[in-house]
Amino acid sequence: MNVLVTGATGFVGRQLVDAMLTETDHDVTVLVRDATAYEPPGDVTVVEGNVLEPGGFEASLEQIDVAYYLIHAMDARGDFAERDRRGARNFALAANAAGVERIIYLSGLGSDADKLSSHLASRREVESILATGDAEVTVLRAAVIIGDGSASFRMIRQLATRLPVMVTPQWIRTPCQPIAIDDVVAYCLAVLERPETAGETYEIGGPDRLTYREMLLKTAEIITGRRPLIIPVPILSPRLSAYWVGLVTDVPKELAYPLIGGVRNPVIVTDDRLAQLVDVEPTPFEVAVRRAVSTEVGTDERLEAVTRPGRDAE
């Protein structure tokens, strides 16, 4: 198959391209915004382009059978949801014109019955925009992905290790079902090989359901051997929480604020059809954290590059 990976410079995209090259014999094309800054990990066709600029990225879709959409726009100031909407629309139109058969999109967990945060609502909107074309879309919905380079895990890690005492918002008690990056990649590859997953929406998660408090405590214990004291208080609004996280961690605020807005929504798997269908051994949270922190090298530089000073919305 001819497979396109968008977001190939990102946390998930990088790992997926590596796995495609080592575990499959598909022909891989990647779409990157700056080809000069991208070192291909092997035999991949590199196409430069930006999904916000119609006319400039469509060559990446020529002869493609299946495209992974691993893009989000929380990397610059301004309205990320508007940019995500526009990027998904441009991509769906271009995929249609190129005759792409399938799109695989990594989205966010969370119940439609809840009032979803702007971040999670935007993920849902992208799901439906991608589905407006002729390509059949497979959606994988995940909560926090644990791995080297994951912005959401980076926030957890830095909060867990930088503060011995934390006065936290109430969302610290929200349940979450984090998933290891290895498992995410395994599910991404598994759906590619199973045509019956085309057109389906699946939820994916690890074996542990934890509150954010439990994730912070376990992460701190693994890294420092100590558990911080966590004191939830009712007075911290989502906006104040975002400022607080912005002060303690170095995740760019364009990324941190929407992610923090999402932590009031429970993100747990309620439908495990994909886990029943494919053989992916779920990685325990603690194993995933140990792997992530043992490989977390060079991430600072990459995350800083995500939001370069002065970078504005396109």
Ligand X SMILES: NC(=O)c1ccc[n+]([C@@H]2O[C@H](COP(=O)([O-])OP(=O)(O)OC[C@H]3O[C@@H](n4cnc5c(N)ncnc54)[C@H](OP(=O)(O)O)[C@@H]3O)[C@@H](O)[C@H]2O)c1
Q: Which residues bind ligand X (CB under 6 A)?
A: 6-7, 9-13, 31, 33-34, 50-52, 70-73, 75, 87, 106, 108, 123, 142, 144-145, 150, 152, 306
Q: Find the angle CA(240)-CA(241)-CA(242) to the nearest 5 degrees.
A: 90
312's tokens: 């504005």
CA–CA distances in Å: residue 185 to residues 142, 190, 312: 12, 8, 31
- Give helix 151-162 / helix 299-306 axis angle, nearest 10°: 120
Residue 278 CB, nearest approach to ligand X (Å)? 18
Question: Judged by CB, which is closer to ligand X: 33, or 217?
Answer: 33
Question: Judged by CB, which is closer to ligand X: 108, or 282?
Answer: 108
Residue 47 CB, nearest approach to ligand X (Å)? 10
Question: Judged by CB, which is closer to ligand X: 51, or 172?
Answer: 51
Question: Judged by CB, which is closer to ligand X: 65, or 314?
Answer: 314
CA gap 164, 184 in Å, rounded: 32
Comparing every residue's Cβ against ligand X, the nearest one is: 10
Residue 226 CB, nearest approach to ligand X (Å)? 25
Question: Judged by CB, which is closer to ligand X: 87, or 228?
Answer: 87
Residue 227 CB, nearest approach to ligand X (Å)? 24
Residue 8 CB, nearest approach to ligand X (Å)? 6
For residues 248-270, one letter each, b for 16 or more C-beta atoms within 10 angstroms of the residue's C-beta and e for the rest, the string is: ebebbbbbbbbbbbbbbbbbbbe
Residue 185 CB, nearest approach to ligand X (Å)? 11
176's tokens: 């979450």
Question: Judged by CB, which is closer to ligand X: 236, or 267?
Answer: 267
Residue 28 CB, nearest approach to ligand X (Å)? 15
Question: Judged by CB, which is closer to ligand X: 15, or 241?
Answer: 15
CA gap 98, 94 in Å, rounded: 6
Three-class SS string for 59-91?
HHHCCCCEEEECCCCCCCCCCHHHHHHHHHHHH
Residue 139 CB, nearest approach to ligand X (Å)? 11
Question: Judged by CB, which is closer to ligand X: 87, or 206?
Answer: 87
Residue 152 CB, nearest approach to ligand X (Å)? 4
Question: Judged by CB, which is closer to ligand X: 25, or 290?
Answer: 290
